[in-house]
Chain A
Amino acid sequence: SAVISQKPSRDICQRGTSLTIQCQVDSQVTMMFWYRQQPGQSLTLIATANQGSEATYESGFVIDKFPISRPNLTFSTLTVSNMSPEDSSIYLCSVVAGSVYGYTFGSGTRLTVV
């Protein structure tokens, strides 16, 4: 199965600033997914990122707030813009490398906005 390197692992940011999270995959994958996990909650999909096209956002998430880049088949970034304390969450990227392997997740970015 694929291995994902996600950075940073954690950060504390000032409100009004932006943070960019990176995910690097050790193999080429078509689809990458970005999730948010608010404190005490399960995972919520933010968007699906395909190489060469605009990301597809889920209801309640907009590109201005969570811009995503997908420059090639092994890399993606998620930016959390104009942060507020409500953005304090764990952010995770995920890929599915084939039906036999299921989904693989990155190690997560624990974001605290103060």
Chain B
Amino acid sequence: KQEVTQIPAALSVPEGENLVLNCSFTDSAIYNLQWFRQDPGKGLTSLLLIQSSQREQTSGRLNASLDKSSGRSTLYIAASQPGDSATYLCAVPPAGGTSYGKLTFGQGTILTVHP
């Protein structure tokens, strides 16, 4: 059974800092890994999707890396801003080479960026 763990559970940083969020998964036979952002009481917004054949993906100030063999992914946020404050979730589809089906989520990292 796939298990996804995110560290740290919460993070509070001053504006402008670069930061790293960590995600680990127990079964490395994943098709891809997706990072989401969730604002309080809202739905999920997709940030980055990394295919199993890729090592990293970038979008603006965000960079996500994937190391399948070690079961780890990191989300790097450069020059953090108060608007980045949210919960960040990583998720993987079922192991075994499919991109469809039940996503397994980590518990999330609650990020607070203060001015």
Contact = CB atoms under 8 A, between A and B. Distances in A.
A43 B105 contact: yes
Contacts, number: 62
Contact of B34 (A10, A92, A103): A103
B75 to A, nearest CB: 15
Interface string A58-99: 100000000000000000000000000000001010101001
Nearest to A44: B105
A110 B99 CA distance: 28
A100 B34 CA distance: 11
Nearest to B49: A102
Interface residues of A, number: 26
B41 A90 contact: yes
B115 to A, nearest CB: 26
Interface residues on B, range: 20 to 34
A42 interface: yes
A105 B39 CA distance: 13
Interface in B37-57: 41-46, 49, 51
Contacts of B46: 1, 102-105
A107 B4 CA distance: 23
Contacts of B1: none
A33 to B, nearest CB: 7
Contact of A42 (B49, B93, B106): B106
Task: Name the 10 nearest CB pairs between A and B, nearest first.
Answer: A108-B43, A99-B99, A102-B49, A105-B44, A107-B43, A42-B105, A102-B34, A105-B43, A45-B102, A110-B41
10 contacts: A42-B89, A42-B105, A42-B107, A90-B41, A99-B31, A99-B32, A103-B91, A108-B41, A108-B42, A110-B41
Given A42-B106, A92-B43, 11 more contacts: A31-B101, A33-B102, A42-B105, A42-B107, A43-B89, A43-B105, A48-B101, A102-B32, A102-B49, A107-B43, A108-B42
Interface of B: 31-32, 34, 36, 41-46, 49, 51, 89, 91, 93, 99-103, 105-108
